[in-house]
Structure 1
Amino acid sequence: MSQVRKAVIIGAGPAGILAALRLQQFNHISPIIYEIRPEPTTLGGAIGIPSNGLRLLYKLGLWDALRDRGAETSTVSVHAIKGHVIGNMDMASWSREKTGFGYLRIRRVDLMEVLYDEARKAGIPICFSKHLTGIEEDNQGITVTFSDGTSDKADLLLGCDGIHSMVRTLYVDPNTEPEYSGISNIYSLVATSELPSAAASIDSLNVMLTTDGLLAISPCRASREMVYWFFSRELAIPPSGDTRDGWEERGKQQVETIKSTVLDLIKDSEGEWGLTMKETVRQTNTLRFYPIYHLPAGGKWSKGRCLVIGDAAHAMQPHASQGVSMALEDIFMLSNLLDSNPASLNEVFRIYEQKRRPRVNEMHQLAERNGGVRKRISPWQLWLKEIATSGALGIYSLFGLSKLGIGQKPLAYDIEEDMH
């Protein structure tokens, strides 16, 4: 295959725009992005980006703009069901020492505004209302066609269109389908001006285990004028089945009842945090529900001149905050390999999969393990878990185990080192 000069990218989410920026900046490839939505989406809550992703955003020149909007929240405070803190842990002290970056929580809409602004400045075209209907390949390149009758041809096609990827479904791997994880989230963004004054001083991720799932709250803007809270719990597939209609009905039921459910679960929570959390739930006007899906490991990632990356290839549960970071690692690995193997896409994709699969599988398993704390437990199990958590965090703090990098080593992963 000849050298890549033009890349068609399907999907104008974080993975698509970041891929376009990197390929243009580093590889001098001309990218064009096609997006199925009619305009940039404003949906989504707040995204967590740990050290491994932040280091790559810095290399793209995006760190300062994102830091100005997001909240650096590297510490997690664990609360008992009564409200008091049973332990604190810095999630990024060791990885920050290794990489220079901690953990950023940022609204998805803020992230996308920064990315669209950067794409605009770089002159990267983004075409909306483009529903992909076909992919064909020959010796000269790969051609995509859309429902409006238009088409485009390039040397490289990237599927950056998320877990329900049309690129994967139409061309790369039609047999791999998303699977429900058994966990669902309810989340909301609330202005701190509507909450007790203590809400504006929340500067870390605060979590509480309940008998019915995990409750958490965190700042998500640098100015601390907004908090992001979510309740993550085990939830069965709707009786009507794993269908869009079934989940829409289940979502409506959850949104209608979740405030009273959460308030009942934390009714004995006292102190400043307990009161703030209760008032945050009460003052929430808009709730969003989403069942968490993931892709099974082992699916195909490439075919001919086409590669799927990010969630389109290996969507995992969000419980390790690795969605954006995994996409960034994919992009940098691809970009570096294109630079070192300019004449052979086959060789690029072969080495890419050889290097990426172990890393992706490691983070996939971590996210799945972290999802386990969302499962329903009895009051006795919760009591025992609180005691165990308090003891573990106490030992962690007393002996300074953060210096050993326990739990943080995957966050110091360096894509450049993996090239050797």
Structure 2
Amino acid sequence: MSDDGRGSGVRTALVIGGGVAGPVTALALRKAGITATVYEAYPTAADGVGAWLGLAPNGQAALATVGADAVVRAAGHPVPGMVMADGAGHRLTGFGGFPELPATLTLPRERLFRALTDRAVAEGVRFAYGKRLVAAEETSDGVTAHFADETSATADILIGADGIRSTVRTVIDPRSPAPEYGGVLSFGGYAAVGSEAGVEPGTMYFAFGQVFMGYWQGADGRIIWFAGLPTDAPPSPADMVRVPAAEWLSRLRDLYAGHVPGERLLRHTGPDDLMVVGRMERMPSVPRWYRGRMVLVGDSVHAPSSSSGQGASLAIESAVELARCLRDLPTPGEAFAAYEALRRPRVEAIGRNAAAVNKVKAGKADAPGPAFPTPEEMFRPLHFHRIDWEEKVTAG
């Protein structure tokens, strides 16, 4: 079927949330002939929000479908290789990436937001800021979103791309599950250690043990690291912000004493270079992905936690698949059902694997051993996944 939006009869869409999934969903819908407006709760584009992330080859391939791969590559730093080690500095295994695929990109989340938003705006997508959703109501032929500023908007469908604390998720199903805490408080930072860290450019390191740390060399030569502070009783986000960065850094240094190279990296990280990311969370299985003319996409329905390395990539894939289904199937309900059937098995399997890694990081399970899958075995089904935009979606 041509990209004219006639499949489901949908002509217009409200996309709630302007993070990663929102702009990509709007771009994919536009390619399918559907006009989408993105409604974002923040008063401006969310610059400065979030820490670093990785965008895997499968996510980049999905971005290519909507013409946004080049702008994101320009914003990111390629890191093709990886090494797994223990906390004493002993190498366990390594992986140079798949030669036929592009390298995983690392970039600050805000830079990805900006690149995707700019691309969507350039393609004619409209963004409305300061629009915090408080309610939504359906009619037989549309859905109306109501915002905290007492304005409203109506379209044929409403798509919740509003993150792990999604309002749309609770509108669709008030009994939907809340995010699941993974037992770890997440932190990141920058360490100016030069060659002392023994880091090969273009390689990401994962050091397991009593505690976990990941790290790689950034484009400016500094080491970018991410680490966790296990705790069974996590403070609230507001309480975390109230703790001075120097205090968090002191606690991390105590925890990582003797860790290779965590002790050294933390010693060369100052309070101003610390990122307090917050609680490591994931979405458990969400029973209802859609209801009537409303549907969920991205972290609102399948946030796998940062341990997966796939959060952004899965959100981008889902945005493209949702648009394909709306393009090809006769009603929104059939399109949403096909979309869920295409996506649920993949995203939930990845989420379960990430939950297992979270247990290791929280000290609730053993670190990877000889029976652990090789990196090639782990990454092949993730990185080689492709969506054929030209293939027609069929119901059932």
Pair in the same fold by TM > 0.5: yes
Whether 2:239 is the aligned partner of 1:235: answer no
SS of 1:158's equivalent?
Answer: strand
Which position in structure 2 is the counterpart of 1:333? Answer: 321
Contact persistence 1:71–1:219 (CA under 8 A): no
SS of 1:116's equivalent?
Answer: helix
Greater shift, 134-143 or 366-375, is seen at: 366-375
Contact persistence 2:72–2:116 (CA under 8 A): no
SS of 1:362's equivalent?
Answer: helix
Distance (whole Å) between structure 1 residues aligned to residue 102 and residue 379 of structure 2: 16
Whether 2:381 is the aligned partner of 1:413: answer no
Whether 2:5 is the aligned partner of 1:5: answer no
Paired residue for 1:357, among 331, 341, 344? 344
Aligned residues: 384
The 3 A distance-change label for structure 1 pair 159 and 322 is: same
Whether 2:254 is the aligned partner of 1:261: answer yes
Contact persistence 2:42–2:130 (CA under 8 A): yes
* Offset at residue 296 of structure 1 (A): 1.8
Identical positions, percent: 24
For residues 47-95 of structure 1, the C-alpha deviation after alignment (integer angstroms, 9 at most, x for no partner) is: 11212111111222222222223222131123343435443223x42xx
Whether 2:359 is the aligned partner of 1:375: answer no
SS of 1:43's equivalent?
Answer: coil
Distance (whole Å) between structure 2 residues aligned to residue 260 and residue 392 of structure 1: 29
Distance (whole Å) between structure 2 residues aligned to residue 313 and residue 69 of structure 1: 27
Which position in structure 2 is the counterpart of 1:34? Answer: 39
Which position in structure 2 is the counterpart of 1:44? Answer: 50
Distance (whole Å) between structure 2 residues aligned to residue 144 and residue 167 of structure 1: 10
The letter for the 2-side match of 1:331 is: A
Structure 1 gaps of 5+ residues are: none
Contact persistence 2:59–2:316 (CA under 8 A): yes
For residues 235-270 of structure 1, the C-alpha deviation after alignment (integer angstroms, 9 at most, x for no partner) is: 2124xxx7555555679796243342255132xx4x
Distance (whole Å) between structure 2 residues aligned to residue 147 and residue 406 of structure 1: 44
Greater shift, 143-152 or 287-296, is seen at: 287-296
Which position in structure 1 is the counterpart of 2:202? Answer: 203
* Offset at residue 280 of structure 1 (A): 3.8
Contact persistence 1:233–1:376 (CA under 8 A): no
* Offset at residue 274 of structure 1 (A): 7.3
SS of 1:287's equivalent?
Answer: strand
What TM-score comes out, normalization by structure 2 length? 0.86
Which position in structure 2 is the counterpart of 1:121? Answer: 122
Whether 2:314 is the aligned partner of 1:323: answer no
Distance (whole Å) between structure 2 residues aligned to residue 20 and residue 188 of structure 1: 33
* Offset at residue 332 of structure 1 (A): 1.5
Which position in structure 2 is the counterpart of 1:103? Answer: 104
Distance (whole Å) between structure 2 residues aligned to residue 2 and residue 274 of structure 1: 53
For residues 288-316 of structure 1, the C-alpha deviation after alignment (integer angstroms, 9 at most, x for no partner) is: 14111222214211011110111111222
SS of 2:216's equivalent?
Answer: strand
Contact persistence 1:45–1:228 (CA under 8 A): no
TM-align CA RMSD: 3.1
* Offset at residue 160 of structure 1 (A): 0.3
For residues 93-117 of structure 1, the C-alpha deviation after alignment (integer angstroms, 9 at most, x for no partner) is: 2xx53xx333221111221221121
Paired residue for 1:302, among 290, 312, 330? 290
* Offset at residue 356 of structure 1 (A): 1.7
Distance (whole Å) between structure 2 residues aligned to residue 247 and residue 83 of structure 1: 31
Distance (whole Å) between structure 2 residues aligned to residue 56 and residue 73 of structure 1: 19
What TM-score comes out, normalization by structure 1 length? 0.81
